[in-house]
Amino acid sequence: MDNKILFRFSIEEQYVINYNHQNEEYTFDELERISKSNFEYWNSVSREGYSQEWEILNKNITRVREYLSTIEELDSESIRNYFYNNIPSNREEIETDKYLYKISMSSPIDRDAEFGKIKNFVSFYIQHLTNNLREAVINFIRLSKNMYEIGYDLSSTSQYRFYPALYLLKQHFSDLKESKDDFETNIVLPIKSKLQEISDDSNEQYKEITTFIETKHNEIQQQFDEKSIELKEFQSSINIWQEGKEARLNDLEETYKNKLSLEAPEELWYNRSKEYREKAKYWTWVLIVSALALVGFLTGLVMVIHDYSLDTIQEIPFISKSFILVSIISFFVYIIRVLIKIVMSNHHLATEYEQKAALTRFYQALTYAGTDIAQEERIIIIHSLFSRTETGLVKTDSSNDVDAILSVLSKNVH
């Protein structure tokens, strides 16, 4: 803001001795300090002097300062308008987007190079009089710049004209130096007060800056901590997601390997089951036809053997009719039993291969689902799947492989 808005005091010549207001431009902070120091001085001297004008300016500046502390965004146009409406002044644009505010004051200003002379005269005057201070100061300034008018004012009956002329005459002819008290009052104490004011302002600004830095640091630290927690949670979720995907990929890879290794056996077992199922159907029809044929053949054969055996039995007395009949029936039953075993064997093989194909598919499904199967259990399963298949025609002492597979797989399902 300081590089866009400047201030200048416009003071009539009757209030200053050596002050070039055309070259004096101030920032808002400098304006505030100047207004405050002038008000404090004139208010300490007399309320009938120039303190009221500086008091009004101080109040206006305080109002602007409060406004600046409440706005969230620095809008140059709004700030310029607020300055113009609250601090009586003339505004002009000296450069692009740079404005100068001219503040008119009917009062001496401590930025005057000869302001020390004015203060010395004021100290002299208030020791003798307490009224008409404004007129006395104006006359003092006029006579300081026009010494030849001193004689005329010495003859004046107005004390506010007489005392300025008397003071300047004493200063001019007797070359009076400032007394120790005047020097201490007008020079030392103001400088000390100014230094104290600067120190107080510096301490206050330091505290404000320190508080601001600490506040921003805490806010940044809080945001950093929050983002760190969010980042850790995000990293944790990423790790969990990655682990899940890696496990899933391993399962798919294992399933693919199992599919490659078991696809051909599964297809072979499925084809074998169909083949033996067809054979079982074929041998079932053979059994039925053979049984009917044997029954018919047995009926005719019994009649033939009955007629034939009459003469034979007489020659071979130890062979009876019943023996011949039982022998023939036993032979026919044996043939039917063989055919039944063949049919049952084909059914048994078809069922066995169907179970192997189904168990192979079930094993692949468990791998796809991510079920953990130990290496020893995997060996048992593979051994059971690829073990010898019994035809059922001949009994063996081998254990039931299907039961072993079901036992292992059931345990892994849970």
Tell me the pLDDT of the chain averaged across its residues. 77
> How far is C-alpha 116 from the chain's CA centre?
63
- 149 domain residue, yes or no: no
Residue 280 near residue 286 (C-beta atoms within 8 A): no
pLDDT value at 176 more than 50:
no
- Write the CB contacts of 201 (distance below 8 Å, at least 6 apart in sequence): 33
Final residue of a structural domain among 77, 111, 145: 111
Give the count of domains, the chain.
2
The whole-number pLDDT of residue 273 equals 79
Give the model confidence (pLDDT) of 377-392 as tens digits.
667 666 666 666 666 5
Give the model confidence (pLDDT) of 297-326 as tens digits.
777 766 666 665 555 555 555 556 566 667
Give the model confidence (pLDDT) of 342-368 as tens digits.
888 878 887 877 777 777 777 777 766
Give the model confidence (pLDDT) of 48-107 as tens digits.
778 888 989 899 888 888 888 887 776 777 887 787 787 878 888 878 878 888 888 889
The whole-number pLDDT of residue 5 equals 83
- 398 domain residue, yes or no: yes
Residue 258 structural domain: 235-413
The whole-number pLDDT of residue 355 equals 77
Taking the C-alpha atoms of residue 36 and residue 61, their distance in angstroms, rounded to an integer, is 10
97 and 241 share a domain? no
> What are the angstrom distances between the C-alpha of 41 and each of 45, 55, 249, 318?
6, 11, 86, 166
- 126 domain residue, yes or no: no
Final residue of a structural domain among 93, 111, 129: 111
* pLDDT band with cut points at 50, 70 and 90 for residue 413: very low
- 5 domain residue, yes or no: yes
* Of the listed ranges 5-19, 168-182, 190-204, 267-281, the one predicted with least confidence: 168-182
Mean pLDDT of 278-297: 83
Final residue of a structural domain among 55, 84, 111: 111
- 62 domain residue, yes or no: yes
Q: How buried is residue 340: exposed, middle or buried, by Cβ count under 10 Å (0-12/13-18/19+)?
A: middle
Name which residue leads in pLDDT, 352 or 177: 352
Give the model confidence (pLDDT) of 12-48 as tens digits.
889 999 888 777 888 888 888 999 999 999 988 887 7
* Of the listed ranges 171-180, 251-260, 284-293, 399-408, the one predicted with least confidence: 399-408
The whole-number pLDDT of residue 315 equals 52
The whole-number pLDDT of residue 183 equals 57
Give the model confidence (pLDDT) of 219-257 as tens digits.
888 888 888 898 888 888 888 888 888 877 776 676 666
pTM of the predicted model, to two decimals? 0.45
- 283 domain residue, yes or no: yes
pLDDT value at 203 more than 50:
yes
Taking the C-alpha atoms of residue 347 and residue 262, their distance in angstroms, rounded to an integer, is 24
- 371 domain residue, yes or no: yes
Q: Rounded to a whole number, what is the distance in angstroms from the first to the last CA of the chain? A: 75
Q: Which of 188, 60, 37, 204 is nearest to 109 (CA)?
A: 37
- 225 domain residue, yes or no: no
The whole-number pLDDT of residue 16 equals 92
The whole-number pLDDT of residue 414 equals 45
